[in-house]
Amino acid sequence: MVRAIADMIVTGEMPPGERLDELSLAARFEVSRTPVREALRELGAMSLVGREPNRSAVVMNVTQARLHSMFEAMAELEGICARLSAERMTVDERRGLDIEHRSSIHLVHSGSPEDYSAYNTEFHNRLYRGAHNDHLLELATQTRARLAPFRRAQFRLTGRLSKSYDEHDRIVTAILRADCKAAGQAAFDHVSIVSDASAVFVAAHG
């Protein structure tokens, strides 16, 4: 239920500011109001929707400033994860990362944004897990989830795929060398670039 409503929000099916009234949602998913209520409360805790007493829940209106702060925080978090990954990844993890990364060159050439996006998510998850820190994994995953709708469009930008591959390459190389500082910096830069691209996109469309 939570997942169902969250999907509607992040896919943009429900635009920011849209009211989410309990009865309509209940009817839509063919359940009673109670589970919908509880889901909305949970989404409120994840601040995906805003809630005020006696008012409908509304899809959070993400301001430009807020978006910027989230991307900046994301860059820092990824930087930390990459740095710790360079330091802590097991041999298997390093090898897995390297193999997956190398094979992603095919996706760049075939050029399907959807496929590359799926791979990209997996790549970043590997970095988060490689840091061997559960809380950091949670913070990074959570932040990434909230940014998802704003990153969605960016792989459609021409040339972004191969640039993304090059940036990943810098990260992977540094991690394989166990060069903490370089890995952290490379990941930080990578996210910062995505941030800039998305900011432009949002400014133009949203």
Partner DNA sequence: TCGTCCAAAACTGCATGCAGTTTTGTCAGT
Partner DNA sequence: ACTGACAAAACTGCATGCAGTTTTGGACGA
> Which stretches of the chain bind DNA, using CB under 7 A?
1, 20-24, 31-35, 37-38, 51, 53-57
Quick one: tokens of 185? 């910096």
Which one of 57, 80, 161, 182 is in contact with a second copy (CB under 8 A)?
A: 80
Closest distance of CB 133 from a second copy, Å: 4
Contact in structure between 186 and 174 (CB atoms under 8 Å): yes
Closest distance of CB 161 from a second copy, Å: 27
Which one of 141, 143, 173, 192 is in contact with a second copy (CB under 8 A)?
A: 143
Collapse the DSSP code of 59 into the 3-class scheme (helix H, G, I; strand E, B; otherwise coil) and give the result: strand
> What's the rounded Cα separation, in Å, for the pair 206 and 201?
8
Q: Which helix (H) or strand (E) holds 127?
A: helix 113-130
Q: How many residues bind a second copy (CB under 8 A)?
A: 24
Contact in structure between 195 and 71 (CB atoms under 8 Å): yes
Q: Which helix (H) or strand (E) holds 79?
A: helix 64-88
Looking only at residues 47 through 66 of this chain, which bind a second copy when binding is defined by CB under 8 A?
47, 65-66
> What's the rounded Cα separation, in Å, for the pair 72 and 52?
28
Closest to DNA by CB, 34 vs 64, is 34
Which one of 22, 72, 115, 189 is in contact with a second copy (CB under 8 A)?
A: 72
> What's the rounded Cα separation, in Å, for the pair 99 and 12?
34
Say whether residue 181 binds a second copy (CB under 8 A): no
- Contacts with a second copy by CB under 8 A lie at 34, 37-38, 41-42, 44-47, 65-66, 69-70, 72-73, 76, 80, 133-136, 138-139, 143
